[in-house]
Amino acid sequence: MATEIIDIRLHGRGGQGVMTSSYLIAEAALLEDKYVHAFPSFGPERSGAPIAAFARVSESRFYVKTEIYKPDIVIVQDPTLLGQVDVLSGLKEGGLVIINTDDPNSEGVVNIKKSRSDAQFATVDATKIAAEEIGIKQTNTAILGALVNLTNSSIITLDSIKKAIMARFREEPAKKNINAVDRSFNEVSK
């Protein structure tokens, strides 16, 4: 029987915590006894340059160790990338796209939705949530609650992502990041 692997590709800019997002997904999945692989993809880019990170999660052991070219889920942490990077490249039919934006009706969001009518799109204002809950506009944790909600906790649960955050951050920042996760879970729009 084939192993069902969920491939997630995250897009953002250097310094925005895209790598941390992928690692937190993997750490949360490990807490649920799942098999994982998380890694970044970047070269000598400077801070602010477009980068991608990847997380691969499965209930069963897998041996695929390549970059993710055909993701099931795409997370766009920086909406300015919508016109600059082909964030939908290779997205599987019926795939899920989560976009951090304060304007779900912006030209960039509308255009990307038109380009893939088979995909499922959701938005959350992770930048606002991060600013209000954490005190900085770094969306790496703020967008993860939306992922949990939209996948019905099938990849990772809220409890696991919160435990992963508690393990990675000091107590006070961890609490703020967990508040951001809770808000994005509740505020995501399908």
Q: Write the CA distances from 159 to 21, 27, 83, 94, 141, integer angstroms.
A: 16, 12, 35, 27, 14
pLDDT digits (tens, 9 = 90+) for 101-160: 999 999 999 999 999 999 999 999 999 999 999 999 889 999 999 999 999 999 999 999
Q: In residues, how long is the chain?
A: 190
9-33 average pLDDT score: 94
- pLDDT at res. 3: 56
Instruction: Say which amino acid occupies 103.
Output: D
Residue tagged 């909600």 (tokens): 149
Indicate the helix (H) or strand (E) that contains 35.
strand 35-41
- Distance, CA of 166 to CA of 185 (rounded, Å): 17
pLDDT digits (tens, 9 = 90+) for 36-94: 999 877 655 566 788 999 999 999 998 888 889 999 999 999 999 998 999 999 999 99
Spell out the domains of the chain, with CATH numbers in brackets. 5-187 (3.40.920.10)
- pLDDT at res. 16: 86
Tell me the pairing of strands 96-100 and 73-76: parallel
Q: Nearest Cα to 139, choosing from 124, 127, 150?
A: 127
Confidence of residue 168 (pLDDT cuts 50, 70, 90): very high
Confidence of residue 2 (pLDDT cuts 50, 70, 90): very low
- pLDDT at res. 188: 96
- pLDDT at res. 42: 60
